Structure 1
Amino acid sequence: MPFTFRGQNLDAILGDALDAPNSLFGIMSAADPQFMQGLRQHWTKHAQATPSVNGWKPALKAFSDIAADWWNTYSDHRLAGILYGAQAHATATAAVTGAQSSAQFLRDFEAARDEAFYVFFQATSVNELAGVSFQATYYHYDVSALFEQRPHSKLKAIVSRRVIETAQIMLRILYGNMSMGWGSLYSTRTLATTLLLAQMHNVALQHYRSRYTDRRCYNQSAVAFTLLTFSYVVAQAWRDKRYEFNEQRWYYFWKLLGSLLGVDTRLIANTHAEAAELWDLFFEHHECQGGPGAPYPTTLDPRRIHSELRAGYDVQPEANLLQWVPAFIVTQMRNSLRWGKYLLGR
């Protein structure tokens, strides 16, 4: 049976590279190829200057360098203006975002980002992310094949650092990757930060091939499923506990994030019902290990994970995440009514 989602057979795109023409990554590549090449070179230069740790390259400085830039090179307003500049690009962008202007897009994106920040910074979400989401990515055959080929993925100390770094990059995306204080006066850097993450992965992971599927490991299917392990798993946990959050904005954030990473729009869920359907499809069509019968999203099934990868996962808290406490406090104050309902379990 074909991999059919929203009435479309997507078999042909599952193994494609992360540069879909109908993604914000693809549109930006067409609208300003020089900027996109500059991001790629920015990462390459950083990687060449960074000593590896058992084959792993710490990446955070590349992202902090964007935040420290005084000019508007990486600003959301500038990049949104490029996406909505030429008519052809504006039409393609609007088809992804649903917004007809750069100003409306930024308002919608910032509202979705704020919602995601609020959801991420609750105990329920942290528990699901640390206990389920990161490891659930290994369900996917190609994700598993990728990390099986990277020796540091089986070393607890490196895995812990890599996961914490991923969390820090996500927090930069959620907070706009601004330098605290004066940085907030000129612009956020969410779009550029996510596009840099895409270029980092494109450079670092594009040459790996899967022993399970004989296609590139870093592909549309693998990243689309990875998005689900964060968006759908956390949303289901909140649903199970009947906590209040804006589900539409939550999935809109993940749609835009995935599109900036180069995921084809046809492989991204817009609603919780679509996310549940897509989750099941990945297992029914043998994109993920274990065959038909998808595991419940909030309960990790270790039988579906490569034993050495499972043994290498041992994530511990890290003190430098405390730098985000001020942002957490601001976000909670802006959502004080919902915060009270959350604490009361309503």
Structure 2
Amino acid sequence: MDALLGDPLTAANSLYGIMSAAEPQFMEDLRLHWKKHIRETPGVNGTAWRPALKAFSAIEGYWGNSHSDQRIAKVLYGPGHSVATQVVTGVGAAAQFLRDFEAARDEAFYVFFQATSVNELAGVSFKATYYHKDVSSLFEQRPHSAIKAIVSRRVIETAQIMLRILYGNMNMGWGSLYSTRTLSTTLLLAQMHNSALSHYQSHYTGRRCYNQSAVAFTLLTFAYIVAQAWVDKGYEYNEQRWYYFWKLVGSLLGVDSRLIADDHAEAATLWDLFFARGECFGGTPAPYPTTLDAHRIDPGLLGGYSVQPEANLLQWVPAFVVTQLRNVPRWYRYIRG
């Protein structure tokens, strides 16, 4: 797989690649939607960084269905593409795929909304992305990466976009009335990154910074680090659904299926390989996932990192309460031992 690490995020065996072949105009419309947002949004504090959340909340009008999960699933499972889609998703029909994906999103929402997960994400996962040589090179070339106020906003915005993906991007309760837009929201995230980051070259590896290796490792810093924290504490989570969620998110971002873990054991193997193969700083042994090794990270990036919670995150409290109530049996089993 070494040969594909520097490839762009357009893998033919990904849901992004399949959707690009099945409905190229839809993918182009997403790209143009992002470009329009960039033209209309000024940079923050004189920098090149522009808030992205408005582009995701405005992906489609309230009552449209052209961006719905149901329609996109039908496209993916349409003539000429269903076999390739089944290889990625593991199921043979659009309806079953959507049920499995919804269950995976529900599991991921539950896992993310726990104190242990939040602590790992804010304290380890985001900074651990800097282990990767190309990710580090990318942010070293973007001056706002050393400005704490902007870094904090960027991190919080990433969390908000992930929450929209987890909740179907339906502005809370609206999704239950007609359709969700998880798939198109993630595809928009892919187009955003392709547009904004694909021109950067890594001064460590000579490759483009936004590549298969960088994004596959970034996914690990969210999926594997959080899961390992839960394993260490003996918390109960559905491993199959958790990693299925990340497999589909990665595939929608254009990551080659061979670079995405199916379970925790594969994630651990991939984590070690990224360091052993020289994709990340420091070589072997790989750092323990839940403990940040600051010596492997550029001091300027580490010094500029900051996370300051924002009040608008309170909108997710009702969803958090409902999720906790639905999972009372898990906590009961844990407390009882």
Short-chain TM bin: over 0.9
Contact 1:139 1:305 in 2 (8 A): yes
**1:345 Cα deviation after fit:** 8.2
Give 1:3's aligned residue: none
What is the percent sequence identity of the aligned residues? Answer: 75
Query: Structure 1 residue 77 and structure 2 residue 73: aligned?
Result: no
SS of the aligned residue for 1:66 comes to coil
Query: Structure 1 residue 166 and structure 2 residue 158: aligned?
Result: yes
Give 1:192's aligned residue: 184
Give 1:201's aligned residue: 193
Give 1:24's aligned residue: 15
C-alpha distance after superposition, 1:58-87 (max 9, x if no partner): 00000001264321011000000000011x
SS of the aligned residue for 2:59 comes to helix
Give 1:42's aligned residue: 33
State how far apart, in whole Å, the 1-side matches of 2:174 and 2:220 are. Answer: 35
C-alpha distance after superposition, 1:169-192 (max 9, x if no partner): 000000010133444211011000
**Equivalent position amino acid for 1:162 in 2:** R
Query: Structure 1 residue 310 and structure 2 residue 302: aligned?
Result: yes
Contact 1:67 1:178 in 2 (8 A): no
Q: Which ranges of structure 2 fall in alignment gaps of 5 or more residues? A: none
Contact 1:332 1:339 in 2 (8 A): no
**1:340 Cα deviation after fit:** 3.5
**1:339 Cα deviation after fit:** 3.6
**1:119 aligned residue (111, 126, 131):** 111
Give 2:170's aligned residue: 178
Distance change in 2, residues 1:345/1:42 (3 Å): farther
Give 1:228's aligned residue: 220
Query: Structure 1 residue 286 and structure 2 residue 278: aligned?
Result: yes
Give 2:95's aligned residue: 103
Runs of at least 4 residues off by over 6 Å: none
Query: What RMSD, in angstroms, separates the aligned Cα atoms of the two structures?
Result: 1.1
Give 1:4's aligned residue: none
Q: How many residues align?
A: 335
**Equivalent position amino acid for 2:66 in 1:** T
State how far apart, in whole Å, the 1-side matches of 2:278 and 2:77 are. Answer: 38
Contact 2:228 2:290 in 1 (8 A): yes
Query: Structure 1 residue 238 and structure 2 residue 234: aligned?
Result: no
Q: Which ranges of structure 1 fall in alignment gaps of 5 or more residues? A: 1-9
State how far apart, in whole Å, the 2-side matches of 1:291 and 1:182 are. Answer: 47
C-alpha distance after superposition, 1:180-208 (max 9, x if no partner): 34442110110000000000000000100
Contact 2:160 2:313 in 1 (8 A): yes
State how far apart, in whole Å, the 1-side matches of 2:329 and 2:60 are. Answer: 31
C-alpha distance after superposition, 1:100-124 (max 9, x if no partner): 0000000000000100000000000
**Equivalent position amino acid for 2:20 in 1:** S
Contact 2:261 2:270 in 1 (8 A): yes
Query: Structure 1 residue 11 and structure 2 residue 2: aligned?
Result: yes
State how far apart, in whole Å, the 1-side matches of 2:61 and 2:301 are. Answer: 36
State how far apart, in whole Å, the 2-side matches of 1:345 and 1:293 are. Answer: 37
**Equivalent position amino acid for 1:31 in 2:** A
State how far apart, in whole Å, the 2-side matches of 1:161 and 1:345 are. Answer: 40
**1:331 Cα deviation after fit:** 1.6
